[in-house]
Amino acid sequence: MELCYHLLTIHILFCLSSITLAANLFNSKTDASALLSFKSHISSDPFGVLSSWNESVHHCQWQGILCGKRHPDRVTALLLDSKQFTGSISPSLANLTFLQRISLSDNQFHGIIPVEIGYLNRLRFLNLSMNFIEGIIPSTLGNCSNLQVIALRYNNLGGTIPPNLVQCKRLQAIDAGYNFLTGGIPPELGHIPQLRFLALHVNNLTGSIPSTLGNLSSLMILGLHQNNFEGHIPDSLSNLTSLLEFFVNQNSFSGFPPALSNLNNLLELTLHQNRLSGTIPSSLGNLNNIQIISLYENKLSGFIPAAIGKLHNLWAFDISENNISGEIPHSLFNISTMFNLGLFFNRLEGTLPFHFSDGCPNLQYLLIYGNQLTGQIPASISNCSALTYLGLDSNSFSGTIPASFGFLENLRLVSVASNKLEAKRSQDWIFLDAMANCTSLQFLELDNNKLEGTLSSSIGNLSTSLRKISLSSNPISGNIPI
């Protein structure tokens, strides 16, 4: 440089261009040597991907490398997913200062995420998911002000979530699920305006959900399930009007999240296996698009709100293992999309609808055992033609077992055990003949009822898939059919 300043004007242009040339040559060599350092940290490359990484080929032609248009020698992307690499991630990556994308997912990288990654201020996309990376999420990632995606799912990362990720104002996705992260959710994460995807599930996170997350007006997916979170889910989340999926199951949340009814776009709501108490708010009936509502294993009481029956996209509704009382709104059997209706182990009473219309063509799981239901098992239940798992046991159903079960060809499990079902006349046993049609039947549980008389030899015509038939604790007499 100094030399150039002392030259005549006419030479200045030449000098500047040779400086640029030298800089490019230098950086180009830096990029090649940084990549060779990256290669040297890989101890196993079973597909020979890195054999092309040699001096006889320009580094921009090396497999997995993309270079820039304006700076044709500079590496902009390192795309080496699913190569079965073993090794660590070389800190020399930090010398690839034009890098925009690093994608090394689904390999067997161990070691740490180099703190030097913070020097990559052009970095937009980082995917290190599905490796064995340990250590912490380096807070220097907060220096990568252009980062849009951080994907670290399925690694062995510990430590806390660095609050200064908030400096990455363009972040759209943070996925750190399936690690060993501890500590709380930094309230700062609520101030990343474009965040659409926040997945921190299956970690060891504690504390409550910071109310600032209610500021994430673009958030579409919030996955916090399988951690050790506690406390009430904050009211402010009612402002997350873009939310499609809200997973907070398997934590220790208490109360019931209020004002969820604002979340018009919500498709999936999983709150199961927490310590929620109180009643199921009827405002859930406002979630017009909802497909999954999962509330099982909580401490909920009160009734099933009739408004649930209005949810005509509902696919799974599971409130099992709570303390829900009252009747089952018959409209629940009239939701044509319903696939899984789980109401078992509650204190439900009343009857099943007498006329199952053709309102439940997709219902495969009807598990309502362990309640106080009465009346007959309606013959029209066979209108739910997809039924596969039918658990009606441990209730107070009376009358006979409907022969129309024979129309349910997909049945695999039928349990009507521990009810007050009768078979006084031989025609009351016709259901057993009819069920020869259920060619997939594996479990038939009839025990602990009032089934009388002799067993018909048609029992031998039941499915060859049958693994268990239980008949104990019934006043059955005579011989066991050959």
- Name the residues that contact ligand NAG, by CB under 6 A: 30, 33-34, 37, 51-52, 54, 56-57, 81, 92, 95, 105-106, 115-116, 118-119, 127, 129-130, 140, 143, 149, 151, 173, 180, 190, 204, 211-212, 214-215, 235-236, 238-239, 299, 301, 323, 325, 330-331, 334, 357-359, 379-380, 382-383, 404, 406-407, 433-434, 437, 456-458, 461
Q: Is 43 exposed, middle or buried (0-12, 13-18, 19+ CB in 10 A)?
A: exposed
User: Which residue, 14 or 33, has its beta carbon nearer to ligand NAG?
Assistant: 33
Q: How many helices (H) and strands (E) in the chain?
A: 3, 34
Least distance to ligand NAG from the beta carbon of 399, Å? Answer: 14
Taking alpha carbons only, the member of 384, 385, 419, 383 closest to residue 401 is 419
> What is the dihedral sign for C-alpha 220, 225, 228, 231?
positive
User: Which residue, 306 or 473, has its beta carbon nearer to ligand NAG?
Assistant: 306
Give ∠ CA 298-272-387 in degrees, rounded to 5.
105
Start-to-end Cα distance in the chain: 104
User: Which residue, 137 or 448, has its beta carbon nearer to ligand NAG?
Assistant: 137
Least distance to ligand NAG from the beta carbon of 451, Å? Answer: 17
Least distance to ligand NAG from the beta carbon of 129, Å? Answer: 4
User: Which residue, 274 or 448, has its beta carbon nearer to ligand NAG?
Assistant: 274
Least distance to ligand NAG from the beta carbon of 450, Å? Answer: 23
User: Which residue, 190 or 342, has its beta carbon nearer to ligand NAG?
Assistant: 190
Least distance to ligand NAG from the beta carbon of 26, Å? Answer: 9
Least distance to ligand NAG from the beta carbon of 158, Å? Answer: 8
Q: How many angstroms separate the CA atoms of 112 and 139, rounded?
A: 13
Taking alpha carbons only, the member of 411, 320, 332, 432 closest to residue 371 is 320
Least distance to ligand NAG from the beta carbon of 67, Å? Answer: 16
User: Which residue, 76 or 143, has its beta carbon nearer to ligand NAG?
Assistant: 143
Taking alpha carbons only, the member of 315, 314, 308, 250 closest to residue 280 is 308
Least distance to ligand NAG from the beta carbon of 421, Å? Answer: 18
Strands of 228-232's sheet in order across = 206-207, 228-232, 252-254
Q: Are 344 and 322 in contact (CB under 8 A)?
A: no
User: Which residue, 155 or 415, has its beta carbon nearer to ligand NAG?
Assistant: 155
Query: Cα torsion for 135, 139, 145, 150, to the nearest 10°?
Result: 30
> What is the dihedral sign for C-alpha 427, 431, 435, 437?
positive
User: Which residue, 68 or 162, has its beta carbon nearer to ligand NAG?
Assistant: 162
126: tokens are 């980082």
